[in-house]
Amino acid sequence: MWMQGYPMELLIAGRTGHEAGGSPPVPVPVLPPSITVGAHMLHAVGLAWASRLLGEDRISITYFGDGATSEGDFHEAMNFAGVFSVGTVFLCQNNGWAISMPRSGQTASESIAQKAVAYGVPGVQVDGNDLFAVYETTLEAVDRARRGEGPTLIEAVTYRVGPHTTADDPTRYREQSEPADWLRRDPLERVRLFLAEREAWSDDLQSEVEAQATNSVEDAVQRAEALPAPTPAHLFDAMFHTPPPHLAEQRAALEIFRAAQAD
């Protein structure tokens, strides 16, 4: 998202629940992250379809987890994309887990990629820990969509080595030894070794890049923290263009409550 131009301080603000981080500035071609698992795949299809109806040539790519493929939205999005040959690339990051639900409990399908068959869409499985393979596969799917040949479902097979969030404790539901095998396939380490073998990477360069990255993140955190704090009324502002009566009523009640608190 950052590479597409979503400012880092807004990404951080969004993560802290600040409304300002909820969407990027207008020219950035990225939608805000969907907290509702899977809901965004439909938006991606709608956007690419709308672009075609407007006579433009924009396509869309949507990223989601293995768990999201159990949502009805996934099937509706795939179905529409297949029937109308919409230029959307579906990229499933199959990391083996949806919080505490293993991939085997998610679907009886042998693979996620094979689900594409049911919608008349090509499905590809790729090593999700191989940067070059993922890039190549994505590029092929993007080119296909740009040529007007329709959607592709990509299953990038990877693994969630850590907890789902800081509130999650994977020792409660999986063997502690499970991540060890995957740690050896760390995609960053693989790229680093690949580059180092070709003398395109070194410890000095690593320290330099890490220092630069740390600086830019710290800078972005400061800028995010300097944003004016949202007020509770903000919750209502971003919901509807014209608020329905019950929300207008709740907002008015909140204002009375806040005024009473201030007295």
Binding site for Mg ion (CB under 5 A): 65-66, 95, 98
Q: Is 155 left (phi over 0), alpha (psi -120 to 50) or beta?
A: beta
Q: Is there binding between residue 35 and ligand TPP (CB under 6 A)?
A: yes
The single-letter code of the amino acid at 144 is R
By annotation, the residues acting in catalysis are 160, 164, 173
Q: What is the DSSP string of 216-263?
A: HHHHHHHHHHTSPPPPTTHHHHTT-SS--HHHHHHHHHHHHHHHHHH-
> What is the smallest separation between the CB atom of 66 and ligand TPP, expressed in angstroms?
4
Q: How many residues does the chain have?
A: 263
Q: Is there binding between residue 95 and ligand TPP (CB under 6 A)?
A: yes
Could you say which of 4, 25, 26, 36 contacts ligand TPP (CB under 6 A)? 36
List the interface residues with ligand TPP, window 48-87 (CB under 6 A): 65-68
206, 182, 213, 204: which is closest to 192 by C-alpha? 206
Beta bridge partners of 126: 156
The single-letter code of the amino acid at 149 is E
Q: Is there binding between residue 42 and ligand TPP (CB under 6 A)?
A: no
For residues 91 and 63, is the Cβ–Cβ distance under 8 A? yes
If the CB atoms of residues 9 and 112 are measured against ligand TPP, the closer one turns out to be 112
The single-letter code of the amino acid at 235 is L
Q: Name which of Mg ion, ligand TPP, none residue 129 binds, using a CB cut-off of 5 to 8 Å depending on partner kind.
A: none
The interface mask with ligand TPP, positions 140-179, x = CB under 6 A, is: --------------------x---x---------------
If the CB atoms of residues 1 and 196 are measured against ligand TPP, the closer one turns out to be 1
Q: Name which of Mg ion, ligand TPP, none residue 36 binds, using a CB cut-off of 5 to 8 Å depending on partner kind.
A: ligand TPP
Whole-angstrom Cα distance, residue 168 to residue 242? 38
> What is the smallest separation between the CB atom of 124 and Mg ion, expressed in angstroms?
18
